[in-house]
Each structure stands twice: as structure tokens, then as C-alpha cells.
A and B are shown apart, each in its own frame.
Chain A
Amino acid sequence: MTLRAFTVSTLLLIPSLAYGTWNLEGKSKITFHADGPAGFSIDGASQEFSITETQESLVFSVPVSSISTGIDLRDDHMRTYAEAETYPTVTLTLPKDQLNFPAQGQKKSVGIAQGTFNLHGVDQPAKIKYAMKTEKAGVSWVAGFGFNTEAHGIVVPDYMGVTVDPAMSAQAKFTIVPAE
């Protein structure tokens, strides 16, 4: 383990010392997947997300306007259903004490964290499955969770008779490094 990676793990294991010290590095990507009828599916992605930190939690934020499904009109509809002008940001809050970072001498760790997903201005509990890997300059993450848009107060989208299952999933891949 490099000195920097060791520092990463140590900082994350001591939440009170890790406050406000993280940056995203390299390519980050967050995706969501929704199913429709007869095998129809929609996949959206954003590379514009940010991480902030409080004493107890890591907070991941994605601007709704940055999420693209590959078709502009569908993106417009998505923003309308999500009322993006009123609720411009989607956030996921992860308490640090729920996170199992790679211990000293370990390359990887996996775990399940109980977090809070805020979509359409509505908080809902979320169970996040994640895997972390110690990198030269930080920790890379792959994390995913399921959510239900109806539980967040979003009506079931219906366009020309084609609806979308409100049970959706999200996944994120990113690397965080300690701030210089």
C-alpha cells in the first residue's frame, strides 16, 4: 500500500478527521436503468457529479439537467416528470460509519450501506451495495442501489402509451482522492 493510499484509508476510518478533504479524480460516471414493457429499457448517464463531506457523511450530488438518456426529447420529459426546475439536484447521503473501507494491507472491500436518497425533493432510505478498491492515488468505488420513483412522489411516466416501471436502479463508478 502506498503512503497516499494508506492516508486515504486512515482518513476515511476517522470521520471527524476526514471532514472536507476529498475530491473526485478522473472519469466519474453515474448511470440509471429503467425498464418498460416487453423488454424496453432506458439507460441514462451523467458525468457531472460532485462529492461533499460533512462530519458524519459523504454526500454525492448529480444535477438532474446533466443526466442524458441519449434522446433529447426523452431527457426533456424526464426533467419534466422530475420537476428539475424545482428540484435540480439528486443526492445520495452515505454515513461514513456505514462504509467499510479497505483496511491497511487490503486491496479491496465490499459492503452494504444504509443511506438516504433524495430525488424530487423527497428523502427515502436506500440500501447501497458497494465495492472499493485502493488505488495509487485514492479509492475507486463501484456502488449501486435500487429506488422507486413513485415513492419519491413522481408519477409514472407515460409517453404515447409506453410507460416506465417506477422501480429503477442506479450505479456509480468514481475515484476519490484526498484534497491537496
Chain B
Amino acid sequence: MLKRLTALAVMLLGLLLTPNTAHAYAWSVNHGYTTCATCHADPGGGGLLTDYGRAQGEVFIRTPWAERGADWEPGNAAQFAFGAVELPKWLLTGAVVRGGPARLSTPDTAPSVFPIVMQADLRAQVTVGRVRAYGSLGALPTGAAEEARVLRNDTVNLYSREHWLGVDVSGDLILRAGRMALPFGNRILEHSAWARTSTRTDINADQQHGVNAHYGKGDWRAEVMGIAGNLQLSPAGYRERGYSGLVEYSIGPKLVVGASSLLTVAELDIQTLEPRTRQAHGLQVRSSPVQGLAILGEGHLLVDASDGSAPNLGSTGWVQADYEIVQGVHVAAAGEWLQQDVGTSLGGWGSATWFFAPKTDLRVDYIHRQNASLSGRTPSHMVLGQLHFSL
């Protein structure tokens, strides 16, 4: 029994540590893309791709295996199901699977190797005039994406990370209501980065229900969301209410600076099981100082107050350098920190990704962390391989 529980705990830790849940290539700033709305149905980035985004997957993301002539176009490789099914203009859809083996070791557990399936999602968006309806549905082993769960049994979670209705008020402004990723910081793939987990703003399962306004015009982008809580959590006391938002400015085609802010209040926090007010306020940057290199950075002040106690101040941050050696082949190094009342945790990531075929990539990560606790720092090591395929 103890062995099973330990194995389960290791797997859950693995799920928490594993990066990548969706397309959200913030390093696209290296190709002059400072915003996300042209490539993603969610204007803040990640998730379902637009037709334009699908095309860019072929144009500048994957490795071209042959010389591309003057009349080259992405063709069927960029289409849904490789063009086998022609979709009407009002429908965007996609399917994605991501998974692979992971090896985790900590001082308290023997090294263990286990498989992880991170994504098995279907996504679609229907557009009628100015109105859009977006939804995703997936199935994973019980224990994964719990916050997004809609149904479960002993072995499988059926979950929906995102579902929302939106209105394109103009080409610059979209209003949405439903479950969606919180606008905060850089929308990076590495959902287990402390900058994401400590602020609860990842694109794995931290989406919340609420109303959202996204505005982008010229060099400015702003997004604000009134958070009504994650309605897939019960009882209602667990749900956080508040706001999350960001504003960004592009200083030229390859440098974006921005600020983010978040405040939530919960009657009963799902982690501390106490009334809790969380705040996070900080800055983010995306830049490409030289061709091929993208720098993604963010740092946030954390203010955490539980019922009856003085607020705890902390901070978190993430700095990543991604270098595209040749088109489709990326190596990246990242550093992160999380300062809390128990001390400062430090982490380092090394990653390599190869987009070697249409809609397919292979990624390997090594994550080393020094996790702060009252008894000092505890190291953990994780190696993760993953194959990602979408239709």
C-alpha cells in the first residue's frame, strides 16, 4: 500500500513538474511576433490555432527539409487533419496529444521512471458573425488537470480547460465570458514554472471562469479579467474571486515590456484550507536582442494573507534564453526562483526541442530544483521526454 502511495505521489509530483500543455511559443518574438491574437483563437495566446497560426507552424516553426521555392506555400500540412477534411470558414478545430517518459529523483524517493500523458484534448471554435464559442474537452488519467475536471471515475478524468463565449466588438477589442487562462505574465509553455504555479496562472489547469476584455492596437496590448472563480471546483467556498490583468507595449518588433497584476480572495483556499487573499504584481519582458535568440523574463511580488495573519511578502521570477540553432531546433536555458516565508527556492531548466515534422515536435527537459523548506533546501532532479502531435 505504502509503495503504491509513494508511486502515486511521485507521479503527481511529476505531473506538477512537467512542462508544456499547449502551443504558446512566447519565443516567437524572435520572428517579430510580439502578440498572440493572429495565431491563436485565445487572443492572449495558447490553445487552438487560427488558420494563420497553423500556417506559421509550417512557415517558421518546423524544420524545412527541402529548399523552399518562391511559390512555396504551407499547403495541406498546415490544414486540419492534413487537409483530409475541409472545414468551413466558421469552424476552427484541432486535436492534440502530448506525452512521454519522465524520470524523477529526490532525496526521499528512489529514482523512478513513469509515463506521463499531459494532453489528449479536442478543441473547437465556432464563429457566427462577431460571436465566437470556444471549447476544449479532454481525457487524462485521474489525478491530472484536476482543477479542470468536469467528470471523473477511478481511472479517467474528463476535463475542459477552456470554454467561453466571445464577441469581437471590433478588430481590436474582444469581450469574453467563460473559463479561460488568466492574463498574467508571459504565457509560457512551462506551466510548472514557479512564476506560473505560485501565481496560479498556468495554461494547464489554472484557468478560471470570469469575464475578460482583450484590447490590442498598434504597439499596445491590454487584457483584464474579472475572476468569478473556477466553477469546476466545489464547494463554492474554494472559488477565488478578484481580477487579473496585464498591459504590454512593443518597443520595436522584437522587444515587449509589460506589467501584470492579480488579486484574488477565497473563503477557503484549496491549499491552505483557510480564508486567503493572494496578490501578485510584477513586470515581464520578451525580447530578441540578436537573430535566433529570445529572452523571456518576468518577476513578481507576491503578497499572501491568510485569515487573521499578517501578509507574507515573497517574490518569484523566471528568466529564459531560447536559441534557435536552425529553423525548428531550439535549445533553452532558464533560471527561476520562489521566495516564500520558508525560504528561497531556486531552479534551473535545460531544454531542447525539435519541430521535426508538420505539427510534431520532440522535447527533452532537465529540471533541477532546490526546494526551500523549514529544514533547508531539498534538491529534485527530473528528466522528461515528450512527443507532441496535433492535428
Contacts and interface: CB of A to CB of B under 8 A. Distances in A.
Interface of A: 35-43, 69-74, 76, 159-162
A71 B31 contact: yes
A165 to B, nearest CB: 9
14 contacts: A35-B218, A37-B38, A38-B43, A38-B216, A38-B217, A38-B221, A39-B172, A40-B37, A41-B34, A41-B219, A73-B59, A73-B74, A160-B51, A160-B55
Contact of B51 (A36, A41, A69, A161): A161
Interface string B223-264: 000000000000000000000000000101100000000000
A162 B38 contact: yes
A37 B218 CA distance: 9
The binding surface of chain A is classed by DSSP as mixed
Contacts of A38: 35, 37-38, 43, 171-172, 174, 214, 216-217, 221
A173 B349 CA distance: 41
For this complex, into which size category does the number of interface residues on chain B fall?
20 to 34
Interface stretch (B65-73, B145-153, B194-202): B65-73
A36 to B, nearest CB: 6
Given A40-B37, A159-B55, 6 more contacts: A37-B171, A37-B172, A73-B68, A73-B73, A160-B55, A161-B51
Contacts of B34: 39, 41
DSSP class of B's interface residues: helix, strand, loop or mixed? loop
Nearest to A72: B68
Contact of B59 (A39, A71, A162): A71
B50 interface: yes
A110 B34 CA distance: 32
B114 interface: no
B82 interface: no
A74 B68 CA distance: 13
CB-CB nearest 9 A-B residue pairs? A39-B216, A38-B37, A38-B216, A43-B253, A160-B52, A39-B35, A160-B51, A37-B171, A40-B38
